[in-house]
Amino acid sequence: MPEPEGPSGRDYLAAVLAGRIPGPPYASLLNMRLTAFAEGSATFEMQVREEHYNPNQVVHGGAIASIADSAMGLAVFSTLSPSENFTTAEFKVNFLRPLTVESGTLRSTGKVIHRGRQVAVAEANVVDGKNQLVAYATSTNLILPRRGELSVVEAPTEAAQPPAPRFDAPPSPLEHSPTSATPSQPSLPPIAAAPLAQGKRRVRVSVGDIAYLRKGQGPPVVLIHGIPSSSYLWRDLIDPLAEHFDVLAPDLVGYGDSDKRLDADLSVAAQARYLVAFMESLGVHRAAVIGHDIGGGIAQLIAVDAPGRVAKLVLIDSIVDNAWPIPEIARLKEPAWDQIMVGLDLRAGLRKGLEAGITTPDRVTDELVDEWVRPFNDVAGRRAYLRAARALNNRDLVSRSRHIDELDIPTLVLWGANDRFLEPRWGEHLKGKLRNAKLQVLDPGGHFLPLDRPDVVSAAVTEFLTAS
């Protein structure tokens, strides 16, 4: 009798990535985790630890080979039908440089370069935290009939069995977990979500859920906000852009309605990795990427690390080199803010920032301020805001400056002539860095151009993205 069919490879991997089923114990043993996949590709990350060392005090070649083998294996697995399985028949790896704990997080993306009925051939690069190539691997894999059924049912609760090893980061408290009230933690009136924000969907990446808005049809466009905003920054651009494009506006991890885990890395470099995983999860393989403020820095790093994913770039009043964080954000690293933030009502400060960043009269409304404040309104939210601010370090861009200089992706740089946070000279500087960029300065225009001059911004962006 034929074997019962289970889920496809993509369905099974989606369940692993979503945390509905455990990943292989071996991945947990080596501190590896699946961060993204699409049909024919898969990406793993592994934080280098001293436990990975050989007697020469560098990472054992077997650990490096394992992350490459896992990436290639799951890349092949993502192509399997419900009736198929596979096994590796041949594996080859070239080691290019030694690794230590200073090498940071390893990342390996496996890709299927040939898929036949019986044989699949895959390749994988392994890069370190500085995006230096450290190993290259290839594998030949045999496609087999599936024996037994893979299950994607919900895993039993922890009360029913010991926690199973997973690809995802270890469980941790979410920032929106209940927090006991004390006299120093005043209770602020709850703020209802704006109508636009009520329509958000959610997708799971390695550090939790990313909330996002999606509208329209056509070529994909990903909108990346900055600090201290959310996808609401794009409220006046989503509809006009959706007339021509499939518009996706995520809340960054730690911002808006996305998860605010205590252990999540909220740096610009980490956010770039999360958004690549976000695109993978939604099947968006190539898109125009539009970034504002730190979102512009995230967009630059996505373009550097995954240039094939970025069709065009639009950078709006973007961070660049060492022009950030601005003093108002940098000062939040001082220890005194740990206590100050507990009892602070952010409304006055965030309104003041909006008023400084918008030149058009009457654009700063109570509704706008409410949605700006809402994700950070309770004590847990304010602490999340503090963590997000403290995670910003210009080394994320400075260390990649040479790679950013080499970008040849068509880029539109939009800048407000009256930007009080990032002066217009930084727009000129950014245009000069990039090989294929043009600059448009909007006068008048402040830092928050998508809110300040939405009609002009949407027209400029549409013209740029639709031009051949």
Yes or no: say if 36 and 43 are a contact pair by the CB < 8 Å rule: yes
The CA-atom distances, in angstroms, between 193 and each of 224, 268, 353, 374, 401 are 20, 26, 20, 7, 38
Q: How far is CA 230 from CA 157, 210, 235, 251, 409, in A?
A: 33, 11, 10, 5, 26
Residue 6 confidence class, pLDDT cut points 50, 70, 90: low
Question: pLDDT exceeding 90 applies to what percent of the chain?
Answer: 65
User: pLDDT band at residue 58, thresholds of 50, 70 and 90?
Assistant: very high
Sheet of 41-47: strand order equals 32-38, 41-47, 105-115, 119-127, 133-145, 84-95
CA 297 to chain centre: 12
pLDDT for residue 456 is more than 50: yes
Average pLDDT over residues 288-312: 96
Top-tier CATH class for 196-466: alpha beta
Q: Looking at the predicted structure, is the pLDDT value of residue 400 above 90?
A: yes
Q: What is the pLDDT of residue 116?
A: 87
Whole-Å CA distances, 137 to 101, 111, 176, 360: 22, 11, 42, 55
Are the C-beta atoms of 197 and 257 separated by less than 8 Å? yes
Rounded to two decimals, the pTM is 0.66
Percent share of the chain, pLDDT over 70 = 90
Given this model, what pLDDT does residue 467 score? 93
Roughly how many angstroms between the first and final C-alpha of the chain, as a whole number? 56
Q: How far apart are CA 80 and CA 144, in angstroms?
A: 10
Dihedral angle, C-alpha 344, 349, 354, 360, nearest 10 °: 130
Q: Looking at 128-132, 321-325, 393-397, which range is the least confident one?
A: 128-132
Quick one: angle between helices 366-373 and 347-357, nearest 10? 120
- Average pLDDT, integer, range 231-249: 98
Residues 6+ apart with CB under 8 A from 459: none
What pLDDT score does 156 carry?
41
Please report the pLDDT score of residue 189 as a whole number. 79
pLDDT digits (tens, 9 = 90+) for 62-93: 999 999 999 999 999 989 988 889 999 999 99
d(CA 140, CA 90): 5
Backbone phi and psi for residue 94, each to the nearest 5 degrees, phi listed first = -110, 125
Q: Where are the domains of the chain?
A: 9-145, 196-466
Residue 157 has pLDDT above 70, yes or no: no
Residue 204: band (very low, low, confident or very high) from pLDDT cuts 50, 70, 90: confident
Identical fold for domains 9-145 and 196-466, yes or no, is no
Other CB atoms closer than 10 Å to residue 409's CB: what's the count? 19
CATH superfamily placement of domain 9-145: Hotdog Thioesterase (3.10.129.10)
The whole-angstrom distance between residue 274's C-alpha and the CA centroid of its chain comes to 2
Angle CA 367–371–374, to nearest 5: 130
pLDDT for position 23:
78
